[in-house]
A and B are shown apart, each in its own frame.
Chain A
Amino acid sequence: MENKRTIDSQDAQIKRLLDSFLPVRSSVNGSELSGDTHLDEDSLAAFVEGNLNQRQSQPLVKHLTNCSFCRHITAELIKLDYVFAQVEETRSLNYANETEPTKASEVLSGLLSRIFGDSASAVFAHNEAETGEEKDSAKPEPPEENQK
């Protein structure tokens, strides 16, 4: 038990050490690429979207561990992707909230008109624009099932 606690505390120490060691290591060695060029936009985008398999992404991952320039771009793209995904999610939720009542009322309206005829749909706000003449002239049709 005691031994486990020591290991946990050393893991935490290593975590803290890496937190200060890696940024410095990266700023000292990060952009030193011997004769290597940076990744192109196409590769960066495909990597960030997770569209490359292990074999295809292996050289990219290796490059990203050595090149802070390209890695930083991928990190920014990941952040951007996350933000936009959140925005899209919120939008679709809002859209769903806005459209839900309309859809529900349409469904109910359709259901009631099948049971009681078209005049019953007048109780829904979206039919208020109808003129008095139209209402008067509208004669309820019997549901198809009753005609058989």
Chain B
Amino acid sequence: MLPESSINTDLISKCEPLMDEIFARCHANSPNFGVRSDCFKDSLRKTAQKYLASALPDQPNLEELQNFLSQVLADDLFLAVGCANGSELAWWEFDQQHRSYLERVARHLAKTEIDAQDVIDTVYVELYGTRVVDGERVSKFATYSGRGSLRGWLRTVIWHSLVDLHRTSHDEVSLDEMTETVGEGSAHAAFAESPRGGESEMLEHISKERYRKATLYGLEKAFANLDDHEKLLLLYYHVDNLKLREIARLVENESSPLRDWLQRKSATREKEPASRVHESTIMRWLEKCYAKVLQNFRSELQTGHKLKSEEIDICLSLATEDLAGASLYRNLMTT
């Protein structure tokens, strides 16, 4: 999905000595995988193209490229290249190192033992590769870049495989329908109810409607004006129901970009960049986002809808009253 652009080839060729060094190290660790230098270096180049080119138009400099290559999990990549090439010894090593993990993940995710076994078999077939392009077998391993760990990648492959398995057994069911419980049906009716009674009720209904629409507009704008990492944090917490401790785990790696973004002005970070991120820290980050949403919300309604401060308070109160049914937003957003 990352943008297709490329890094200057001269720059990459300046990294040849480093790539040779990485290859030599991996080869010394696993001399029997039959991985050729050109093949391995080609994978390193592809990895660099994939992740560094996405940051274009700013071309990375030599130092950045060298740092990047040094951070590649070279032994994992070496094993993957060996397996992709069909080396029996590489496969044996992969099986020894990762099979039990792969099975544990599949059993944890799948509902039944049969599903788990199905997925394990499917993943193995995919990893080996049954598709032939231009006379060559295409192994799934060829898509592994070494940027993350081989285990992390395997976990994702298993997850995808389970989704595919579920889809084939539940035709026409989208992932969203499959994984998220979206309250449909009766909830729709709540907000659209017709006004009853006389003229004053009608007027009250119309003004309430106006405030509700303004609220939705304000919320949408306030959210849209957040930075992407702030949006993601809120979505993880409110939509995907990640717990604070799970989000803390996501940013545990001290070089995590999310952690960098959210913690960039923290005094703690300056003193101890590797300090652990606690649940309370995540809560503080969330609170900062709420404050920013509130600020954006008020300013959007003041400028966009020309509402006075008291009217904005009415919007907030009305919306809070309507919280009993999420139908308010669904109804307004789909009309």
Chain B interface SS verdict (over half):
helix
Measured in the bound complex, the distance between the Cα atoms of B228 and A137 in whole Å is: 77
Q: Cβ of B234: which chain A residues have Cβ within 8 Å of it?
A: 18, 22
Partner-contacting stretch, out of A56-64, A94-102, A112-120, A127-135: A56-64
Q: Is A144 an interface residue (CB 8 A)?
A: no
Q: Report yes or no: A80 in contact with B294, Cβ–Cβ below 8 A.
A: no
Q: Is A1 an interface residue (CB 8 A)?
A: no
**B3 smallest CB distance to A (angstroms):** 7
Q: Report yes or no: A39 in contact with B1, Cβ–Cβ below 8 A.
A: yes
Q: Report yes or no: A56 in contact with B333, Cβ–Cβ below 8 A.
A: no
Q: Is B180 an interface residue (CB 8 A)?
A: yes
Residues facing B in A27-53 (CB within 8 A) are 27-31, 36-53
Q: Cβ of B259: which chain A residues have Cβ within 8 Å of it?
A: 50
Q: Is A82 an interface residue (CB 8 A)?
A: yes
Query: How many A residues have CB within 8 A of the partner chain?
Result: 68
Query: Which residue of chain B has the shortest Cβ distance to A38 in the bound complex?
Result: B1
Measured in the bound complex, the distance between the Cα atoms of B236 and A138 in whole Å is: 68
Q: Is B203 an interface residue (CB 8 A)?
A: no
Q: Report yes or no: B239 in contact with A40, Cβ–Cβ below 8 A.
A: no
Q: Report yes or no: A65 in contact with B228, Cβ–Cβ below 8 A.
A: yes
Kindly identify which residue among B155, B223, B231, B294 contacts A10, using a CB–CB cutoff of 8 Å: B294
Measured in the bound complex, the distance between the Cα atoms of B231 and A64 in whole Å is: 9
**A74 smallest CB distance to B (angstroms):** 8
Measured in the bound complex, the distance between the Cα atoms of B330 and A81 in whole Å is: 33
Measured in the bound complex, the distance between the Cα atoms of B74 and A147 in whole Å is: 52
Residues facing B in A1-35 (CB within 8 A) are 7, 10-11, 13-31
**A118 smallest CB distance to B (angstroms):** 39
Q: Is A85 an interface residue (CB 8 A)?
A: yes
Residues facing A in B241-263 (CB within 8 A) are 241-242, 245-247, 249-253, 255-261
Query: Which residue of chain B has the shortest Cβ distance to A70 in the bound complex?
Result: B1
Partner-contacting stretch, out of B11-19, B28-36, B171-179, B268-276: B171-179
Q: Cβ of B108: which chain A residues have Cβ within 8 Å of it?
A: 80, 83-84
Query: Which residue of chain B has the shortest Cβ distance to A83 in the bound complex?
Result: B108
- What mask results when residues 263 to 293 of chain B are scored 1 for a CB within 8 Å of chain A, else 0? 0000000000000000000000011001101
Q: Cβ of A64: which chain B residues have Cβ within 8 Å of it?
A: 232, 235
Kindly identify which residue among A17, A55, A68, A78 contacts B323, using a CB–CB cutoff of 8 Å: A17
Interface residues of A (CB under 8 A from B): 7, 10-11, 13-31, 36-65, 68-69, 71-73, 75-85
15 pairs, A vs B, C-beta closer than 8 Å? A13-B320, A18-B290, A23-B239, A27-B330, A50-B250, A51-B255, A55-B54, A56-B54, A56-B257, A61-B258, A68-B176, A71-B232, A73-B159, A78-B242, A78-B250
Interface residues of B (CB under 8 A from A): 1-3, 50-52, 54-55, 58, 71, 104-105, 108-109, 143-145, 147-149, 152-153, 155-157, 159-160, 163, 174-176, 179-180, 182, 215-216, 219-220, 223, 228-229, 231-232, 234-236, 238-242, 245-247, 249-253, 255-261, 286-287, 290-291, 293-294, 297, 316-317, 319-320, 323, 326, 328-330, 333-334
9 smallest A-B Cβ distances: which pairs? A50-B253, A50-B256, A75-B240, A46-B148, A55-B55, A45-B152, A46-B147, A45-B148, A41-B156
